[in-house]
Amino acid sequence: MASKPPATSIGQAIRLAGSDLYFNSLRFVPANVVCALGLLAVLFAAISWPPALVLGALLAVPIAGIHRMAALLARGEATSISDFVGGMRRFGLQATGVLAGTAILAVVLVTNVLTGFASEGPIGWFVGATALWGLVALVMVLIAIWPVLVDPRREDRPLRRRLQLAGLVLIGRPGRLFLLTVLIVAILVVSTVLLGAIVLVGIAYTSLLATRWVLPAADDLEARYEAARAR
């Protein structure tokens, strides 16, 4: 039976993610390159034709593959590059739908932020501030979604239930998930500035980091929720 992920803190997750990447670099570096090149292709296409940004939703396919390998490691199982390919095939459609949906919500929230703060009254500012926090929450829950979506323990559950569990992580661990999100965003920003880093390891490491923290948090919160319902 697959073991429970040992990480319960962000510090532990940082160390375990580094170890995972070090000992599985031959698997994660090629997968990272595929994802990073896809990202660069979308960005370069969007420079010439801005509507090409909608193709960014397809990046969910390799992202799902990388998280699938990370989830297998977090569950104490061996992984290989075939799991990357298998993860893309099995979860690619669901992942694309999730990313497209969050992108639409992000556009709405960003619009509300800009129009709210551009207004001259407190009601507009309130709307802008609320939308800004909504945008932060959206990024946080997106960080939680990927590991739960491809978790080998939960892969047969309906998509709705897996999304609900990601939401439970947001509600049950908001402070720590916020810190994890800030850390992941910072790593990705630095990796993007240092282009070679994002091509080789940036996406893979943040996927491992998110998975090492999110899955134990999801296990704990789900167990507490089920225990509370049984009372």
Residue 166 is predicted with a pLDDT of: 97
- Which pair of structure tokens corresponds to residue 134? 């909504």
1 inside domain: no
What's the confidence (pLDDT) of residue 2? 45
Q: Which residues of the chain have pLDDT under 50?
A: 1-7
Separation between Cα atoms, residue 98 and residue 92, nearest integer Å: 10
pLDDT one-digit tens code per residue, 95-138: 999 999 999 999 999 999 999 999 888 899 999 999 999 999 99
Does some domain include residue 89?
yes
pLDDT attached to residue 40:
86
> What is the CB neighbour count within 10 angstroms for residue 184?
20
Q: Give me the amino acid identity at 129.
A: A
Query: Are 107 and 118 a contacting pair, CB within 8 Å?
Result: no
pLDDT at 193: 81
Q: Is residue 219 part of a domain?
A: yes
Q: What pLDDT sits at residue 100?
A: 96
CA pair distance 27, 8, nearest whole angstrom = 25
Listed in sequence order, the DSSP H helices in the chain are 10-23, 25-48, 60-74, 81-118, 122-150, 159-172, 174-193, 195-197, 203-230
Nearest residue to 112 (alpha-carbon basis) of 98, 100, 130: 130
Could you list the residue range(s) of the whole structural domain that residue 180 is in?
10-226
Q: Is residue 122 part of a domain?
A: yes
For residue 228, give Cα distances in angstroms to 8, 157, 159. Answer: 21, 21, 23
Domain assignment present for residue 5? The answer is: no
pTM, two decimal places = 0.93
Tell me what pLDDT residue 194 has. 82
Question: Structurally, how many domains does the chain consist of?
Answer: 1
What is the per-residue pLDDT for 209? 98
Q: What is the DSSP string of 110-176?
A: HHHHHHHHHSSSHHHHHHHHHHHHHHHHHHHHHHHHHHHHH-TTTTTS-HHHHHHHHHHHHHHSHHH
- On whether residue 54 sits in a domain, the answer given is yes
On whether residue 2 sits in a domain, the answer given is: no
Residue 1 has a pLDDT of: 41
Indicate whether 231 belongs to any domain.
Answer: no
